[in-house]
Structure 1
């Protein structure tokens, strides 16, 4: 489909399916998508010296224009599988071989999804930066650094406000025009003007030891939001109008004569998308009107000492504290009988806010704290050896590590268990926190036969060997469960046995059907992959039908309402990132051989081995509790399956992502 590009969406195909037995046509519903970044930048800097002062100052203005192309279901999704549309096929019976999606296509019978809206949003924003710094030579061996930086980041997300106001006040509004614009448009986000960022530092080289340098510093930095936050908001109400409709090929015809393309589908089917309603009844993704950049405080104190003439060792403490970081939250949680909203006709019935239905908000409610001891040893040309070794012992604590769930390592589940306690209740190890990390690089340049004279010199001279070693102690992760228990020991007529106290409707829509409530830690000494469930009349093995157990027999208990009642805690799930995946341990090595051909012409032969020790990397285990039901082996908290939902038995239980096994590359360069 060469004509389908982000610059020519009109030629892009719809997503067309005919049933599980037939191939699907077109692109997936979320494609095409793309992003273009255009930056206009003006900056000026100046430096000067006055006595002991070295002063730098300057500024920058840039204007960012980032067109983002993204409209899920923008070209339409046509499902011709018999049944979903609710209309019977006219010219065949349900038992006939012709009762299939192709017949439905010929008759024009389909279940159709389509989104109307602007597929291209120009996220535009001006940014202004100013700074001044004075490096003061206080004494011959003490330098002080004093500086101040100011940053202003424009609110690119206000493109959605402008777009929705223009749509709603134009000729073809999506929503009920009797509603106020505050209800039918994306809100205007206030500018934040207070990014004032001091810089303090020093460097001290004492007279008593000229090989010793002590350094320290403190700074505050602003961390602006990224466009992915705004893209998710742009794909839902009130920015776009998504709808589904059934077509029978007679009274309701939704098959364009010009083919299943973006342009043809919208020309025919846009009037079929339900309009004139209240967008607050639809799920929404937004940011608060006070949305602002995060603030990062960083401090460091280090000691560096020269060792001999060629080497140096450094020990440094580094810490930082992030406030107003970005966190995705359930901003209109289900409260049940505690809800102030008791009107069944309202959008937020039994929720916190009556005026809205489901709301996923990226707010400035996250924090993080990092403390690390960083050490390094560096040498140059020490008996023909050069290299460095760096080791860090560190820990980072936060209440979320990303805005989106990974369902794997890091931010396994992004949302808080308790929507009313998104801070202390979610405090845990950062998803990118590696307690131990080690990196080393070594280069040996052969001193033998450097002149490469004679046959022996050409054979044995000109060699150089490199090795790179990296290690970390494994990525943290969290076990997670389905929004509805799948155990055969669950009573499907009893919601308290198959569901938790978390918002199941919200989890199904915004968290891919995975519960934001986490499994309950039962007995840490029981086998790691063992799971039970509280049925209300006793504990049973999650994977074995009819098998009763004691609670202490299993490591985990499915987090349902019966277990919450038994523990006297509505949200008894395990904390974030209490488990850790396999360690990373890898060596890359290379050997280079230079052969002088003539004059300044040199041929270099190369051999490089990636993962030279051929060590498998297992990453984080399968954290999906429901995979304990898999066969021939249970898949929970091991590496037997290639993903949480695919029963593909991996060789020896190993998952080895690229480059995976040892990879050897041969090469050469001719230099002249």
Structure 2
């Protein structure tokens, strides 16, 4: 807010009448988008108390097209609609020359009745809604003769969500095939309620050649809610039968009562299901305090050289052992390692100190060439699902039932055993499949470094160049220690023949030994507005980007359970060698302005997999063997994709294909915008807006079929073919009309 009441109102509108054909569906898909909003602010008491408020609303009916690779010939078209509303209000009170107080409140609501990822089966679709409620207060004080500024902040942030399966799928197990998932999502329904109280203090102290910064922060995180994780169960399948499209017909994708599940009985490996003594309400009620303290100094060592020195300490003591974990002992010796992989309550990491240093050097003292650089450590926390897991799973009976050969195993996997029989002791506790965190788990951190320069070429043109590198260590990974090692193959022995600790099945274990790294050169050229023209260009050359996998929640993702770090180290899926962004804005006469942007990306990587479970192993399989470990048919990469596959054109039996071996196609996108300003009298002004996205209708893709098969030629024939992906980078040509009125 200011001393003058003012505001604005805007609207943006899209329709499929302006759209080109979807590059995957090859038809114009039903689509529209409407965004409206406004803001208003002004004085309550002039020169002292001001207010500001805003409101935004958006609805986006859309169409989702998916074609699961493992169901050749099946394609699904479903309607989806995103709706969101947000409102914000703020008050600023200049109490005196040295004291200012502000308060901010905001609210956001989002929902969509049909969410489905690229290439997924409609049975996996979910109903989702999210909402946030935030309050933040800030008190700023100037003291010490103007040399000190302190800022005190306090607030509360609530974030809630609901994730539900489609109504017809409720209570249906999830069926995990290699490269395909059917059934209701195993971890739904979810009803999450979360809130974080925050308090922060910052002191900036200017003293001679030093600008000293001291601060601290406390976050009191509380998450709770009902989580019916694996309440309906999950079936792990050995392979995808060639007639699956007949057993689960496309016409009955959301009607599981018509699926011929019984015909899949011989392919079922195991059934995992959770039993809760007191139900699944308030299942992950978790408190998580987080602390941080920092000290920094910007030291002007000379007229040309400024040094930046800092130290930060972070602590997240409940990240790996939240309150409520029920400890136990799970001794395992698998031929490679031995230890206790039970639930722990004393996992703490109090030593996360992060030193940082940087500099800027004004080369000739003319302020037209500055060299800059720095290096430092930055700590993070694992995602909340890791924290929740031991709290939730240690309080459940996490049962696993191996296929015992019964003809009706897949339709009656527990053989009639019910939860009340287990908890009463009427039947023996079944084999367990827990989620645990290793006792020496640590917070992940990155060591980031950069060196570069900024050069002013003339009065309106500047050049920025920066070389950056980071190493991330202690990233979270997942493995299963409860497998026997087979020295003859280097893989695991089939778990159907036994496990090191027979009281347990899969022991999904989170460990902090993952790694990521990246090196890139980023350049930017900027021309400031002059003679009605403004322009800029950025180019990023990525030399390398690697990682050794990710987190698995239903199963470890590695190809080899006994080489789950080094064996997964590869170019990251996010690696893109070349990225270009350019723009130009030109002000024409009569209040007309036009701008154009061009975006280019040389393509990301995608993780190819081979359908199958050699040696009974789960995860993302890249080994071409039969499920029994025998000789498999060779797999021939489709000729149209061979130049984008970082592996052999023919995958012989026994071959392991590289991770992230499929290269996506380059992205090209040109967007055009034109505006016309109209004066309405006084301070009132209107702007008319017309935009075209992807002007030349270049086909851009963000997802591909990534499954190969030694037994299903039709599935392999689809390898590398694009799949529909939401997102502005991948849209066909679209147009948008809009307006903005200021008053």
1:479 maps to 2:562: no
Post-superposition shift, 1:541? 6.9
Q: Which of residues 649, 654, 658 is equivalent to 1:555? A: 649
Structure 2 unpaired stretches of 5+: 1-112, 114-126, 130-159, 174-182, 236-255, 259-270, 329-338, 402-416, 639-646
- Root mean square deviation of aligned Cα: 4.5
1:517 maps to 2:622: yes
Aligned residues of 1:397 and 1:427 also touching (Cα < 8 A): no
Aligned residues of 1:184 and 1:278 also touching (Cα < 8 A): no
What corresponds to 1:304 in structure 2? 454
What corresponds to 1:122 in structure 2? 285
Post-superposition shift, 1:15? 3.0
Post-superposition shift, 1:163? 4.9
Q: How does 1:126-141 map to 2 (within 5 A)?
A: 126-141=289-304
What corresponds to 1:428 in structure 2? 570
- Aligned equivalents of 1:113 and 1:579: distance in 2? 35
Q: Which of residues 185, 189, 197 is equivalent to 2:354? A: 197
- Aligned equivalents of 2:356 and 2:662: distance in 1? 38
- Aligned equivalents of 1:325 and 1:139: distance in 2? 40
1:71 maps to 2:228: yes
Structure with the larger strand share: 2
Aligned residues of 1:237 and 1:284 also touching (Cα < 8 A): yes
Post-superposition shift, 1:596? 0.9
What corresponds to 2:441 in structure 1? 291
* TM-score (norm. length: structure 1): 0.65
- Aligned equivalents of 1:462 and 1:275: distance in 2? 79
What corresponds to 2:719 in structure 1? 636
What corresponds to 1:443 in structure 2? 585
What corresponds to 1:587 in structure 2? 670
- Aligned equivalents of 2:184 and 2:508: distance in 1? 27
Aligned residues of 1:6 and 1:32 also touching (Cα < 8 A): no
- Aligned equivalents of 1:33 and 1:41: distance in 2? 25
1:573 maps to 2:650: no
Post-superposition shift, 1:270? 4.3
What corresponds to 1:597 in structure 2? 680
Pair 1:630–1:417, CA change in 2 (3 A): closer
Pair 1:361–1:593, CA change in 2 (3 A): same
- Aligned equivalents of 1:127 and 1:594: distance in 2? 49
1:611 maps to 2:667: no
Pair 1:670–1:41, CA change in 2 (3 A): same
1:400 maps to 2:548: yes
Q: How does 1:351-500 map to 2 (within 5 A)?
A: 351=499, 356-404=504-552, 415-446=557-588, 448=589, 461-484=590-613, 500=614
- Aligned equivalents of 1:343 and 1:481: distance in 2? 19
Q: Which has the larger radius of gyration?
A: 1
- Tell me the SS of whatever aligns to 1:229: helix
- Aligned equivalents of 2:563 and 2:493: distance in 1? 26
Post-superposition shift, 1:71? 1.6
1:15 maps to 2:109: no
Pair 1:555–1:609, CA change in 2 (3 A): same
- Aligned equivalents of 1:586 and 1:384: distance in 2? 25
What corresponds to 2:217 in structure 1? 60
Moved more, 310-319 or 606-615: 606-615
Post-superposition shift, 1:657? 4.0
Post-superposition shift, 1:278? 8.2
Post-superposition shift, 1:43? 1.6
Pair 1:280–1:199, CA change in 2 (3 A): farther
- Aligned equivalents of 2:185 and 2:305: distance in 1? 62
Q: Which of residues 191, 203, 213 is equivalent to 1:34? A: 191
Aligned residues of 2:326 and 2:394 also touching (Cα < 8 A): no
Q: Which of residues 468, 472, 476 is equivalent to 1:326? A: 476
* TM-score (norm. length: structure 2): 0.59
Post-superposition shift, 1:336? 4.4
What corresponds to 1:314 in structure 2? 464
- Aligned equivalents of 1:631 and 1:592: distance in 2? 50
Pair 1:333–1:242, CA change in 2 (3 A): closer
- Aligned equivalents of 1:421 and 1:8: distance in 2? 35
Q: How many residues are treated as equivalent by the alignment? A: 503
- Aligned equivalents of 2:389 and 2:443: distance in 1? 18
- Tell me the SS of whatever aligns to 1:666: strand
- Aligned equivalents of 2:591 and 2:497: distance in 1? 77
Deviation string for 1:557-609 (max 9, x for gaps)? 26xxxx33xxxxxxx41222233111222122211111112122212111111
Pair 1:55–1:35, CA change in 2 (3 A): same
- Tell me the SS of whatever aligns to 1:425: helix
- Aligned equivalents of 1:422 and 1:633: distance in 2? 26
Pair 1:34–1:663, CA change in 2 (3 A): farther
